[in-house]
Amino acid sequence: MSETALSSPRGAKGAASDSAQSVFVFDVSGMHCAACSARVERVLNAKPGVAAQVNLALERADVTVSGGQSADDIKAMIEKTGFGASLRQGSLSERQAQAERVDEDRAEEERHSFYLFLFSAVMTLPLVAPMITHWFGFGWHMPPLIQLVLAAVVQVIVGARFYRGAAKALAGGAANMDVLVAMGTSAAFLFSLYQVIALGSASVGHLYFEASAAILTLIVFGKWLEGRARRSAADALRALMGLRPREARLVADGATGDRMVPIEEVKAGDRVRVLPGEVVPVDGTILEGRSEFDEALLSGESEPVLREAGEKVISGAVNGAGSVVLDVVAMGDDTVLARIIRLVDQAQTGKAKMQNLADRISAVFVPVVIGLALLTFVAWLALGGNFEAAVVAAVSVLVIACPCALGLATPTALVAGTGAAAKSGVLIRDIDVLEVAGKVTHVVFDKTGTLTEGKPSLVSLHQVDNAMTEADLVGAVAAVQSGSEHPLAKACVDAARERGASIPPARGVTAHVGEGVEGTVDGAAMLIGTRAFLERHGVDLSSAGDAFQMMEQEGLSVSAVARGGQLMALLGFRDEVRAESRAAVESLKARGLKTILLSGDAPETVRRVGEILGLDEARGGVSPRDKLDMLTELQGQGHVVAMVGDGLNDAPALAQADVGIAMGSGTDVAIGAAAITLMRIDVGLVGSAFDIARHTYSKIWQNLFWAFFYNVIGIPLAAFGLLNPAMAGAAMAFSSVSVVSNALLLRRWKA
């Protein structure tokens, strides 16, 4: 993986992405359900020039401002809705520290919920004990005054958080889960209190103190479980953030020796020493030493990777047994690790299309439920039911109908799924691809660097004109190619160095994507590229005879070289097929997918690679424009197309494809155009990317189904008096926990 393997996504969060637009990230505290997040999002989006996405699972708001609004203005708007807001700002390291503090606060809140649950359970158990003994044939009853005292303690101490939340929500002009819980438990408690006062302490009428206390106990317990699950869903991103070292061991000149400095003080060109067992603090090139590095959390590669002098090492990798000195290439927000974190963060905070229905329902859910509860109460009285039965049914409707599960269904699955994918080396940048990936019918591959090693070597040089020696010719070719990142260009430069040829300066170098390159060396115009490229520039290729065809039949990639309009030589390059490519293609075909190879290389060479790998179709001599047209043609025929590539010439096709998949070793342009990036140079991850996308999409729909199912089934049961309030509270708590737990099953997925 190169140090430029990942591009920054749409502007760094917490900073201005351009002169007219800023993106702010706020941690939002106090949100308990989908109605809460929907309220914040609705208020923010109502402001001209503000576009916001609020994630309930991560308790954060991502706000894009294109007008004159400041971060303080946005913060005030969030707080006006009744919730707390803190801005993440500064460098990635500073935002990481802020996120860690927020995470600690949430962990403390989680512990508080657990202690509150234990207290509530101790107070509630005596209230529900008579009901339990009644099931076994005993007729024990607790005195009403003792029930009143125990229930009042729970209602005041445990219910306080719900009353505060309800008051804030109503003050902000909305209603949320807290309103439902406060109304339901208050109704049960006050009705029982009325019976005790009106009928006396000797009242034999049924009291519902145990219902109000049990509801609060069960909901607090459910919130504790839900909080634990929500925090664990973000474990993958938390683990990546934890890889960022705060200090580096700077190698100083002279006798001062190494010294530890804050990572912010390290600059490009500095030398950093990494001792055995330490985490690499920067992206750099090894100057001294060799060692194995564990990159599992970065690329999903389970085995340590050996790196030697001249090779690159990325921040976040764990050093093995050797000590190495690195020449610093990138640090801080510019490292590969920082870019991975941004991509994972971007995916996890996005909003899938299927969430829109849940959002629309959540926006009106609580008022509708309150209306249904009132309708239930009136209907029971109108149909001859007594007041007590009407109250119990209405309370049950209020308690069982909670929008928490709706709000958590999609974001928890997204967080868990994209996190699991990242741990296996699959970075999902565009979450909309989750829906499309399961519908792919055709997978189109680039050749060089995708199905092949991407490290071609010059193995044949057929000189047509002897006006230049081989060494001078290779040196001139390397001069024109020395500024290019193309694999064939690197092979030419390597060949010149191996032959000891001098590389003169080149002027006016211009690259023609997918065709070739031109420039001037020692006053003579040089052309290097495909047969069509040279012919288009008026070069006569007849002097090469059948050499072109013979070299291509040997499976070589052939480039022609012309100097001053005269054909000079043919260069033959060999790029070995990756060992895992055959198995990867077979895996995709086993899924029923059609596999196609499109390459700018010679048709004969491409055909040979296609035969080796068992591809359904292989076309050579294809320009970037041709690739785009072929993908458009397939899509026009109703096919859903995935494109896999890594080069600059693949970027248009990656953007056009329904699912663009870039190899992590590729160019920033290719990765920026793709929806998915494979962090390991392993084309076998293509099938894995489809799998995790399909699994995540499936979990989202499962969660939405269960969230709707609980309410569609539960509300009528409660309205018809088939659920008592305590059972309704248990069902409501279980609905949120089950949805989050179902999403967490994605964490078990591995490529």
Per-residue model confidence (pLDDT) at position 639: 94
Q: Is the pLDDT of residue 4 over 50?
A: no
226/743 Cα distance (integer angstroms): 12
Q: Compute the half-sphere exposure of residue 467: CA atoms within 13 Å on the CB side of its CA.
A: 11
123/605 Cα distance (integer angstroms): 78
Per-residue model confidence (pLDDT) at position 349: 66
Q: What is the per-residue pLDDT across 343-380, written as a single tens digit (0 to 9) for each?
A: 777 766 666 666 666 667 766 778 888 899 999 999 99
With 0-12 CB in 10 A as exposed, 13-18 as middle and 19+ as buried, what is 482?
A: middle
Q: What is the per-residue pLDDT across 161-172, written as a single tens digit (0 to 9) for each?
A: 889 888 887 887
Q: What is the per-residue pLDDT across 501-521, written as a single tens digit (0 to 9) for each?
A: 889 999 998 988 778 899 999
User: What pairs with residue 445 in β-bridges?
Assistant: 597, 644
Q: Is the pLDDT of residue 133 over 50?
A: yes
Per-residue model confidence (pLDDT) at position 359: 67
SS3 assignment, position 646: coil
Q: Minimal CA–CA distance to 531: which of 467, 472, 601, 466?
A: 601
Q: Say if residues 297 and 423 touch (Cβ distance below 8 Å).
A: yes
SS3 assignment, position 440: coil
Higher pLDDT, 184 or 513: 184
Mean pLDDT, the chain, rounded, equals 82
Q: Is the pLDDT of residue 588 over 50?
A: yes
Per-residue model confidence (pLDDT) at position 562: 94
Q: Say if residues 588 and 580 touch (Cβ distance below 8 Å).
A: no
Q: Identity (one letter) of the amino acid at 579?
A: A
Q: Say if residues 154 and 120 touch (Cβ distance below 8 Å).
A: yes
Per-residue model confidence (pLDDT) at position 464: 87
Output the CA torsion sign for 204, 206, 212, 213: positive
Q: What is the strand order of the sheet 259-262 is part of?
A: 259-262, 247-250, 271-274, 324-330, 283-288, 312-313
Per-residue model confidence (pLDDT) at position 669: 55
- Of the residues 446, 575, 646, 658, which is catalytic? 446
Per-residue model confidence (pLDDT) at position 592: 92
Q: What is the per-residue pLDDT across 670-723, written as a single tens digit (0 to 9) for each?
A: 566 678 888 877 888 899 999 998 998 899 889 888 888 888 888 899 899 888
Per-residue model confidence (pLDDT) at position 473: 92
Q: Is the pLDDT of residue 12 over 70?
A: no
Instruction: Tell me what the mean pLDDT of segment 624-649 comes to.
Output: 87
Q: What is the per-residue pLDDT across 453-464, written as a single tens digit (0 to 9) for each?
A: 878 889 999 898
Tokens describing residue 680: 């390991």
Around Cβ 293, how many Cβ atoms within 10 Å? 25
Q: Is the pLDDT of residue 232 over 60?
A: yes
Strand ranges, E, within 575-668? 594-598, 617-619, 641-645, 659-663
572/556 Cα distance (integer angstroms): 5
Higher pLDDT, 510 or 264: 510
Q: What is the per-residue pLDDT across 370-408, written as a single tens digit (0 to 9) for each?
A: 899 999 999 999 988 888 889 889 888 888 876 677 777
**Cα-based distances in Å from 423 to 145, 345, 749:** 57, 13, 10
Q: Say if residues 361 and 406 touch (Cβ distance below 8 Å).
A: yes
Q: Minimal CA–CA distance to 420: which of 583, 239, 553?
A: 239
Question: DSSP secondary structure string, 503-539?
Answer: ---EEEEEEETTTEEEEEETTEEEEEE-HHHHHHTT-
678 Cβ partners below 8 Å, 6+ apart?
Answer: 425, 426, 427, 661, 662, 663, 664, 685, 686, 689
> What global pTM score does this model have?
0.70
Higher pLDDT, 679 or 151: 151
SS3 assignment, position 113: helix
Q: Is the pLDDT of residue 175 over 50?
A: yes
Phi, psi angles (nearest 5°) of residue 618: -140, 120
In the numeric block, the tokens 């060999």 are attached to 574
399/723 Cα distance (integer angstroms): 11
Per-residue model confidence (pLDDT) at position 6: 41
134/139 Cα distance (integer angstroms): 6
Annotation marks residue 283 as catalytic = no
Per-residue model confidence (pLDDT) at position 10: 36
403/386 Cα distance (integer angstroms): 30
User: What pairs with residue 529 in β-bridges?
Assistant: 516, 560
727/208 Cα distance (integer angstroms): 13
Q: Is the pLDDT of residue 203 over 70?
A: no
Q: What is the strand order of the sheet 318-319 is part of?
A: 305-307, 291-294, 318-319
Q: Is the pLDDT of residue 247 over 90?
A: no
Q: What percent of the chain is modeled with pLDDT above 90? A: 18
Tokens describing residue 413: 């699955």
Higher pLDDT, 138 or 594: 594
686/511 Cα distance (integer angstroms): 30
448 pLDDT tier (thresholds 50, 70, 90)? confident
Q: What percent of the chain is modeled with pLDDT above 70? A: 88
Per-residue model confidence (pLDDT) at position 333: 75
Output the CA torsion sign for 125, 130, 136, 138: positive
- Rg of the chain, C-alpha, whole Å: 33
Q: Say if residues 696 and 713 touch (Cβ distance below 8 Å).
A: no
